[in-house]
Every structure is written in structure tokens, then in C-alpha cells.
Chain A
Amino acid sequence: MKNYIKYITAISLGVALVSCEPEFDNSVEDGDLYTSGEADFSNYVALGNSLTAGFADNALYIQGQKNSYPNILAQQFEHVGGGEFTQPLMADNIGGLLLNGNQIVDTRLILDVGASGSPAPTNIEGTPSTEITNTLSGSFNNMGVPGAKSFHLLASGYGNASGVATGQANPYFVRFRSSAEATVLEDAVAQNPSFFSLWIGNNDVLSYATSGGIGVNQTGNLDPTTYGSNDITDPNVFASVYSQEVEALMSSASGGVLINIPDVAATAFFTTVPYNPLTPALLGDQLATLNATYAQLNQAFAALGVPERSIQFSTTGPSGIVVQDESLTDISQQLTQALVAGGLPAPTAAVYGQQYGQARQANENDLVLLTSQSAIGVVNTDRVQELVGLGVPQELAGQLSVNGVSYPMQDQFVLIPAEQEEIAGITATYNATIEGIANANNLAYVDANELLNNVANGGVMYDGGMITSEFATGGAFSLDGIHLTPRGYAVVANRIIEEVNQTYSATVPKVNVGAYNGGPSIGSGVTE
């Protein structure tokens, strides 16, 4: 009888341990809830640039890659037959690159409280450990290559380490290309993707914009090998390479999604620094002196028939910075003469004439780049040297070299309306091409342009509040002002899922955007 009891106990324990886990009526885990529709997500390959790679905070680093929109998508595709999704992960969370042991790319940005006491983006401490010549083995589902333009995906040698120094090759692609000659597209197609995403073309116009329009609009030039890095790609070149890329990917894929080019002016990079950051408090004692000096100049502007170029700082409110506008007629000569006629000594007049020949005060139509934030109001030492070299006394040279106050902000810091229109026009042309190709091939089409405009104008709701394009705090943009936060990428991923579901009658679940970090990266880089 003792044994009998033992048996009962053993059996009941055994039953309890092995059986009867609670089961849902419709289980997420067992795939009861979602369908792939007409698409085959088993082998998803993502092509693109930095946005696809998961670039953030001006760097590529592991944590950013894990929150790349393709990786977010791949996790959701797992519910509808998606397979493993591999990424060419960096060696660390510091970011930055080494080439033969020499650092060639900076570490990522963090928001740090510096000596000033106010938070500002700063490169995280530490030395990068990602050596680009340590080429990774195997193929990678995430083929996002930071810095790539549309035509780069077809460029042989784009992953050749020896071309990095001359700008012929891309250090990020060097890390994971299959061979020195392989193109990004070849390496993608070789994986026989069953589904793909393509988000390319941003850099074809973005680098022109982020450099303040110092590049050349190459419209009409059909040879991209002759383009400089900050140039705008010819729309016909773009259309040609883009359709080649889609065609190659379509050879094995059941479907795919094309993502268009956002309006660069909707990014925090262009909307953070106001055109009029100069307040009476900021200018202090200098305000009266500056206005007195500019009064002489304004008389000359009036005499020359361009009174609209007058510069005056308000004593009560914020004033626009002084900018160099290349779209204005250069009136240096006339201005010098007018100033001499007004009684200014000839050498001084010549310096003024040269400095303000295309100057004007910024207005609400100008976009001041994020990179100017640390430059405005600072004495430009290069300019001081230049003026001293021209024979200007040291003190006066210093007074004339304050960025945006006495020395017009140079081209690379400001997008003037003419440049903005140029960029907007090209972007619209590219997007028309992308939409056309998407429709012609029955591919899903994601209007990222509209999405980021919504973020910039009012914001996008999520369970923890509102995502806006506000720099550092809005939740969408990382500390470089252009690339997205994990939360921003999650918003994009959800938009892609919506379009994919609609196009292919699939029911891929969306992610909870609030679970992705939208806060600014903080830390010291010093980890125990």
C-alpha cells in the first residue's frame, strides 16, 4: 500500500510537469494569427544606404543595426514564414571605422553635458574596433551600405579596400562584400531573395543638401563616374540604375517594397537651427557698434539700388544671421566704390566690399544647417588669418570674422531658397520614377516623403505621446539630425508593413513603436 501511494504521487507529479501548458485559442507563437498573402518572406534581403543599414547618431554601431528597419521588419516577417535575417554587425557600440589600424571614421554621437553645462552632441569616448579590412564571411540579408548612392549599387570595386582612400570604394561595403570586384546588387541577387526592400537615392540629393549646396547639380551629365561626392545625380541616370536594380531583384523575388526619398528639409538637420538666433542679449555691447557699422553699408546698398540687402540687428527681438547668398549678383566692386565715396579709406572699403558683395540677412525662407549650430557667433580664425594677410589690423580682423554676425555664414552652412527648390525638384523627379517602377512591377510603394513630412508637421502619435522632428527630444531623429532613432525606424517599419500587407494581402503584425528608444543617446562610453 505504501507503494501505491508513491505511484500516485509520482504519476501526478509527472503529469503536472510534462503536460498541459496553457494554450491560446489562437496562438501568435504557432502562427495562427497571420498570413503571408501572396508574398514569400522566407528570404528577405534589404538594399539601401545608411538608413537601411541602421545608421544613427552619425555612425554605424551594433545597437543601431539591431534597430534597423529591415531587422524590425524581419522580426515581424518571422510570423509569416520569414527566415533568419543576418546583418554585417559592427565590432562594437562605439561606431567609427579603422583602415589598417588608422581611424578613418568618427565614433557615434552622444548627448553630453560639457563644460558649458548644456547638453550637446559629442563623439563618444573610445577607439573604434571595426577594422574594415577584416572582411566578414558569408552573405548578409541587410545589404544597406552607408553613403551609397543609387548608381553605387552597380559599381564594381565599390568594396575594394584599396579604393577607400581615393573615394572610389565604400569602407562599409569593404567589410562584407563577397569579393573586391563584387557590386552591392550582385551580392544581393546572389542570395536569391524571395522578398526585398529597396530604399536608395537619398544620398543622390542629400549630400548636396547637407553640404549646403556646395556640390554641382549634374542634371544632363549621364556619366556618374565624373560626379563629385556632393553632386546631385542626373534624374535619367537615377531612373536607369534604379530600374536595373529592381529588375535584377525581381528575378528571384515574389515581391518587394520600394521606399521613396524623404524631403530633406523635413529632417531635424535643416530645421533645428533658427534663421534668427541672434538676440540683443547674445550680441550685448556689440549690438550698437555692429548696427553703426552696418548703417554705412546699408547706405551703400541703398545707393546701389539693393536696399533689400540691408543688415540691421533688432534691439528688442531676435535677428537673422548674415549669410552669403551665391544667387545674388556679386556687387563687391560697386560696393567698394560706394563705400569709398562715402568716405571710408580705400583698403577698408575693399575688405568690406569683398566680404559683403553677396551678403544679406537670413530670413524665414532660409534653412540653416545643424552643423552651423556650433559655428554661429564664433570667431572664424581662418578668416582672421586671411584678413590679417590682406593687411587688416588684428583687432579689426577679429571683429570682422564673427560667423553669421560680421562674417556672412558660408555656403555650406545655409540652404538658400534657390538650393531648396533645386533639391525639392530633383526629389520629386526621383520619387515619380520610384512610384512608376513600383506600379509597373506591382511592388509595394512606401511614401517615406509624406511620412517624414507628417513627423515634421505636427508629429505622429504613439502610445507614449507624439513623435516629432524636434532635434534630440522629438523621438524621430538621432543626434546627427538626419538618421532616425530606433523609434523613428520603427515608424518607418510600420508604414512598410502597412503597404506590404495591402499590396500582397498579407497580415504581418506591426510593432509597438513605443517599445523602441526615441530618446537621445546618452552615456560616456566608459562602461564597466
Chain B
Amino acid sequence: MRKSLLFMLIALLSASVYAGGYRVSTQGQRALAMGHAGVAVVNSAELAFFNPAGLVYLENKLNVSAGVTGVISNVRWQNGETGQFAETENNLSTPFYLYASYQVTDWFTVGLSAYTPYGSSVEYPTDWAGSHLVNDIDLQAIYIQPLVSFKLSEYFSVGGGPIFVTGGVNFNRNINRTLTDENGNRSNVEIDASNVTNMGWSASFMFNPTENLRIGMNYRSEIILEAENGDATFSNVPNSPLAPVENGTVAFDASLPLPAEFTVGLSYKFCEKWLFAFDYNRTIWEVYNSLDIDFAPEGVPDSFNPRNYKNASTYRFGLQYQALDKLTLRVGYYFDETPVRSGYFAPETPRNDSHGYTGGLSYQITPAIAVDASFVYLRFEEVQESYDYYQENGQNVPFGGTYKSNAFLPGLGVTVNL
């Protein structure tokens, strides 16, 4: 009863924000405390995300891990030439995860997972200087995945399963830089699509060449969220045949890629109580070429927004120390390369390279139940950037300035091993 309540509560929370592009790396408090490295760490049901092949090596019959992270992100923008500045609303988003595995036989484990690897939630002050690009955006996607894990030998296992995604997006911006209605209210468009579904898969292996060394590889496929017949609502448009659009709601089609991610890594146990982990992620962002919104009526001009993302790497390092029988301490660091090219720095995903500093602990309350906590401080360098592909009268009009961002991600989870 308690568990199902927890699940419902978690499911109600929205997913969101931060890590290169709109990738949100918070898929397990234990791994997150170690720089979100975990492709080769056999520790808990978090493997359902990091490496399903490893599930079969878990000692217990039933393993459950669940958690939620509070993402508090701040973005500041300013333009020294004009003196304009803006700061995003300090809103909290809460990506979550829920993993379970059950060992059917000695060589076969099944699992089920729900997690939110992509999302974005950025809210600028309405009508700010970049409001022709974005006022606010809220993107979420929930991944649900049944899993199997096969032990081929003590040294090698494979795993994976299909992914079912349901997602939604709400995006608001002004129609252009200057149009207002008769009373000076900025003309605006809001697009909204929810319950957009699609499928993908993931597959992995784990290789244990020695007792203390594990090597893992995981691949999660690309999934394109295709929003069809979403609602686009135009408002504050002057009532005139000379206006570019009319007030009201029209249908639109758009697609947003959730890119494929490839991970390899290793873990190494040393001095009894210590474990080192390293993950390398390669995210295939190049699929995100352009955000195009195709409004259904012929008369409404479609919106083309080049993104031209590039593939990006993340380097993750983690260290675990068994301090007491019941207490495990973890620290980590990661370097997250941005997929955003210079000149394509759109304020709805204001991401440059970032450094993540992580820490956390697990405390074994009972032999079966442990509490996991993690904390991440994500730091971005101050960056002078612009988005150069907004068009006005067929001419590119750059929007730029200095951006400075950071994020704090406190997270709490629970691990159950029966």
C-alpha cells in the first residue's frame, strides 16, 4: 500500500531540467553521488537504467530502487551593449526513477523501470528581451521499460528491453520582436502537446574479467517524439487582416528527438572498502537538427528553428567508500560537454559546457532497506553567446548576450533488497 502510494506520488511529479541539451542525468542517487557513473557498478536496481545486463549479478532475489531529485536551476542573461538583463524563475523540477528486478533463475533476471532521462523547464520573465525565442518551456518524457538480463557466464552477461515513452511539451513565445495588439500586449503563441508516445529499446552487456574489475556497455536508442494535432494558441494578435495570424487555436505538428546514448565504463574495487567508477557517455545529438512547427492552416506561417546540435561526450568519475557497516559515502565529478554549437545558443536550452560536483551517501536502516542521498552542484562558465538564426523579413537577427547558469540537485532515494 505504502509503495503504491509512493509510486503514484512520484508519477505525479513532473520531470525536468539539465545536463547537455535537455538530457537530465539523475537516474539513481547512488550513481549520481558518484558523478552519475554506473555502467559497470553492481550495487542496486539502479542497474536497470545504467546497465540491465548487470541486474543478473545482484545478490538478492528482489531489488527495488526509487528516488526523486529536486532540480533547482538558475539562468541569468545580460547584454552589456543595451543594458538588458533577465533571470529565469527559480522553479523546482523533480525527475524521478523507479527500478525493480527479480531473479527468476540463477542465470535469468527480469526487471521493470520507469525514469525521466529527458526534460526541460525554463521560465523567463514574460516579454523579456528574448521573448521572441522563448518565454517559457516545459518538456517532459517518461520512459517505461520491461527488462531481461541473462548471465552467460560468471564473466559475461547481456540485458535490455523495449522502451515505451510518453511525453509532452508546453512552449510559449512571442510571435516576433515587436507585434502587439491594440493595447500594446505582445502577440503570443503557446504550443501544447501531451501524451505523445513512441517506442525504443536499450541493450547492454557486462564483462567481469577479474573479481574486482567490471566493464560495462549500454546503448539506449533514439526516440523521436512526434506531436501530431497539438494545440497552438495565438493570443494578443491585433484584429486586422494585415496581421500575420489570427487569434485562436490551431493544430500543429512537430517532432522532438530524444537522442540515442552510448555508454562504456568500468568499475574497480580496491582496498576492500573502496570502489572507483568511470563512465563515458556519447549522446547522438546530431539528430536534433531543427525544431520545426508545422501549423495546420495554410495561412499560418510555419516556424523553422535551426538547432544543428552536435554529438557530445560526458566524462564521469566516481568514488565509493564503505565507511561503516551501514554507511557508504560517495563523491564524484563529471564534465558535461554541450551539444550546442556556437551561434545556436537558444535561450530555451541555455547550455554550455558544465562541471558537475557530486556527493552522497547510503545508510542501511535495516538489512533490507537503505536510504540514498545525493547532491550535485552543476557549474557553468560565464559565456558570451548568441542564437543567430532567428529570422525577420528573411534576414537573420541574432539574439545574444552573456549567460551564466548553475543548478543544484539534491536527491533522495530508497533501496530495498529482499
Q: Complex formed: what's the CA distance from A213 to B177 in Å?
A: 40
Q: How far is the CB of A521 from chain B (nearest CB, A)?
A: 8
Q: Which of B72, B240, B395, B409 has the most CB of A within 10 A?
A: B240
Given the complex, which residues of A lie within 8 Å of B182, measured CB to CB? 93, 110, 124, 523-525, 527
Decide: A465 and B74 in contact? CB cutoff 8 A: no
Q: Complex formed: what's the CA distance from A5 to B370 in Å?
A: 11
Closest-by-CB residue of B relative to A78 is B83
* A227 contacts the other chain (CB 8 A): no
Interface segment, one of A6-14, A325-333, A336-344, A391-399: A6-14
Q: Complex formed: what's the CA distance from A526 to B22 in Å?
A: 42
Closest-by-CB residue of A relative to B241 is A113
A463-B397, A514-B177 as given contacts; A21 in contact with B410, CB under 8 Å: no
A24-B78, A523-B238 as given contacts; A13 in contact with B410, CB under 8 Å: yes
Given the complex, which residues of A lie within 8 Å of B410, measured CB to CB? 9, 12-13, 16
Decide: B408 and A93 in contact? CB cutoff 8 A: no
Decide: A28 and B85 in contact? CB cutoff 8 A: yes
* B203 contacts the other chain (CB 8 A): no
Interface segment, one of A237-245, A305-313, A420-428, A505-513: A505-513
Q: Complex formed: what's the CA distance from A303 to B76 in Å?
A: 81
Given the complex, which residues of B lie within 8 Å of A519, measured CB to CB? 178-179
A28-B83, A524-B182 as given contacts; A9 in contact with B240, CB under 8 Å: no
Given the complex, which residues of A lie within 8 Å of B87, measured CB to CB? 21
Given the complex, which residues of B lie within 8 Å of A13, measured CB to CB? 70, 410
A13-B410, A465-B392, A465-B393 as given contacts; A24 in contact with B373, CB under 8 Å: no
Decide: A22 and B75 in contact? CB cutoff 8 A: yes
A514-B397, A517-B178, A527-B183 as given contacts; A5 in contact with B404, CB under 8 Å: no
Given the complex, which residues of A lie within 8 Å of B84, measured CB to CB? 28, 512
Decide: B242 and A119 in contact? CB cutoff 8 A: yes
Q: Complex formed: what's the CA distance from A33 to B392 in Å?
A: 30
Closest-by-CB residue of A relative to B82 is A512
Q: Complex formed: what's the CA distance from A8 to B405 in Å?
A: 25
Give a binary string over A130-156; 1 marks a CB under 8 Å from any B CB, 0 the rest: 000000000000000000000000000
Give a binary string over B159-202; 1 marks a CB under 8 Å from any A CB, 0 the rest: 00000000000000000011111111000000000000000000
Q: Complex formed: what's the CA distance from A178 to B182 in Å?
A: 31
Q: How far is the CB of B415 from chain A (nearest CB, A)?
A: 13
* A26 contacts the other chain (CB 8 A): yes
Q: Complex formed: what's the CA distance from A60 to B129 in Å?
A: 26
* A205 contacts the other chain (CB 8 A): no
Give a binary string over A429-462; 1 marks a CB under 8 Å from any B CB, 0 the rest: 0000000000000000000000000000000000
Q: Complex formed: what's the CA distance from A350 to B36 in Å?
A: 101
Pick from A4, A33, A510, A518: contact of B178, CB below 8 A: A518
Decide: A29 and B85 in contact? CB cutoff 8 A: yes
Decide: A517 and B179 in contact? CB cutoff 8 A: yes
Closest-by-CB residue of B relative to A64 is B184
Q: How far is the CB of A33 from chain B (nearest CB, A)?
A: 5
Q: How far is the CB of B94 from chain A (nearest CB, A)?
A: 12
Decide: B242 and A111 in contact? CB cutoff 8 A: yes
Q: Complex formed: what's the CA distance from A525 to B178 in Å?
A: 18
* A374 contacts the other chain (CB 8 A): no
Decide: B80 and A26 in contact? CB cutoff 8 A: yes
* B365 contacts the other chain (CB 8 A): yes
* B363 contacts the other chain (CB 8 A): yes
* A316 contacts the other chain (CB 8 A): no
Given the complex, which residues of A lie within 8 Å of B238, measured CB to CB? 522-524
Given the complex, which residues of B lie within 8 Å of A495, measured CB to CB? none
Given the complex, which residues of A lie within 8 Å of B180, measured CB to CB? 63, 517
Given the complex, which residues of B lie within 8 Å of A516, measured CB to CB? 178
Given the complex, which residues of A lie within 8 Å of B240, measured CB to CB? 110-113, 522-524
Give a binary string over A20-64; 1 marks a CB under 8 Å from any B CB, 0 the rest: 111111111100011000000000000000000000000000110
A24-B404, A516-B178, A522-B242 as given contacts; A9 in contact with B392, CB under 8 Å: no
* A1 contacts the other chain (CB 8 A): yes
Main secondary structure of the interface of A (DSSP, over half): loop
Closest-by-CB residue of A relative to B184 is A63
Q: Complex formed: what's the CA distance from A481 to B179 in Å?
A: 20
Given the complex, which residues of A lie within 8 Å of B81, measured CB to CB? 509-510, 512
Pick from B79, B242, B393, B408: contact of A464, CB below 8 A: B393
Pick from A33, A66, A464: contact of B395, CB below 8 A: A464
Decide: B373 and A62 in contact? CB cutoff 8 A: no
Q: Complex formed: what's the CA distance from A431 to B243 in Å?
A: 41
Given the complex, which residues of B lie within 8 Å of A26, measured CB to CB? 80
* B219 contacts the other chain (CB 8 A): no
Given the complex, which residues of B lie within 8 Å of A25, measured CB to CB? 382
In the complex, chain B residues 363-399 whose Cβ is within 8 Å of any chain A Cβ: 363, 365, 371, 373, 375, 377, 380, 382, 392-393, 395, 397-398
Q: How far is the CB of B21 from chain A (nearest CB, A)?
A: 19
* B105 contacts the other chain (CB 8 A): no
Given the complex, which residues of B lie within 8 Å of A511, measured CB to CB? 82
Decide: A509 and B242 in contact? CB cutoff 8 A: no
Q: Complex formed: what's the CA distance from A164 to B54 in Å?
A: 89
* B239 contacts the other chain (CB 8 A): yes
Q: Complex formed: what's the CA distance from A16 to B74 in Å?
A: 11
Q: How far is the CB of B289 from chain A (nearest CB, A)?
A: 25
Q: Complex formed: what's the CA distance from A24 to B77 in Å?
A: 9
Give a binary string over A160-203; 1 marks a CB under 8 Å from any B CB, 0 the rest: 00000000000000000000000000000000000000000000
Q: Complex formed: what's the CA distance from A63 to B371 in Å?
A: 58
* A483 contacts the other chain (CB 8 A): no
Decide: A20 and B76 in contact? CB cutoff 8 A: no
Given the complex, which residues of B lie within 8 Å of A112, measured CB to CB? 240, 242
Given the complex, which residues of B lie within 8 Å of A8, measured CB to CB? 361, 373
Q: How far is the CB of B190 from chain A (nearest CB, A)?
A: 17
Decide: A1 and B363 in contact? CB cutoff 8 A: yes
Q: Complex formed: what's the CA distance from A345 to B272 in Å?
A: 127
* B303 contacts the other chain (CB 8 A): no
Decide: B402 and A515 in contact? CB cutoff 8 A: no
* B65 contacts the other chain (CB 8 A): no
Decide: A29 and B78 in contact? CB cutoff 8 A: yes
A93-B183, A465-B393, A522-B242 as given contacts; A27 in contact with B78, CB under 8 Å: yes
Closest-by-CB residue of A relative to B132 is A515
Closest-by-CB residue of B relative to A526 is B239
Closest-by-CB residue of B relative to A67 is B184
* A79 contacts the other chain (CB 8 A): yes
Decide: A527 and B181 in contact? CB cutoff 8 A: yes
* B412 contacts the other chain (CB 8 A): yes
Decide: A24 and B382 in contact? CB cutoff 8 A: yes
Q: How far is the CB of A93 from chain B (nearest CB, A)?
A: 5
Given the complex, which residues of A lie within 8 Å of B178, measured CB to CB? 486-487, 515-519
Q: Which of B184, B371, B392 has the most CB of A within 10 A?
A: B184
Q: Which of B238, B242, B365, B409 has the most CB of A within 10 A?
A: B242
* A115 contacts the other chain (CB 8 A): no
Given the complex, which residues of A lie within 8 Å of B70, measured CB to CB? 13, 16
* B145 contacts the other chain (CB 8 A): no
* A363 contacts the other chain (CB 8 A): no
Decide: A20 and B83 in contact? CB cutoff 8 A: no
| Residues of chain A having any CB pair with chain B under 8 Å | 1-2, 4-5, 8-9, 12-13, 15-17, 20-29, 33-34, 62-63, 66, 76, 79, 93, 110-113, 119, 124, 463-465, 486-487, 509-512, 514-520, 522-527
Q: A22-B76, A24-B76, A515-B177 are in contact. List 13 more A-B contacts (CB 8 A).
A: A9-B410, A13-B70, A33-B80, A464-B392, A464-B393, A465-B393, A465-B395, A487-B178, A514-B177, A514-B392, A515-B129, A519-B178, A524-B182
26 contacts between A and B (CB under 8 A): A1-B326, A1-B363, A4-B363, A5-B371, A9-B410, A12-B375, A21-B87, A21-B406, A22-B74, A22-B76, A27-B78, A28-B80, A28-B83, A29-B85, A464-B177, A486-B178, A510-B81, A510-B82, A514-B177, A514-B397, A515-B129, A517-B180, A519-B179, A520-B242, A522-B243, A527-B182
**10 smallest beta-carbon distances between A and B, as pairs:** A16-B408, A523-B238, A509-B83, A517-B178, A63-B184, A523-B182, A522-B240, A22-B404, A28-B78, A524-B239
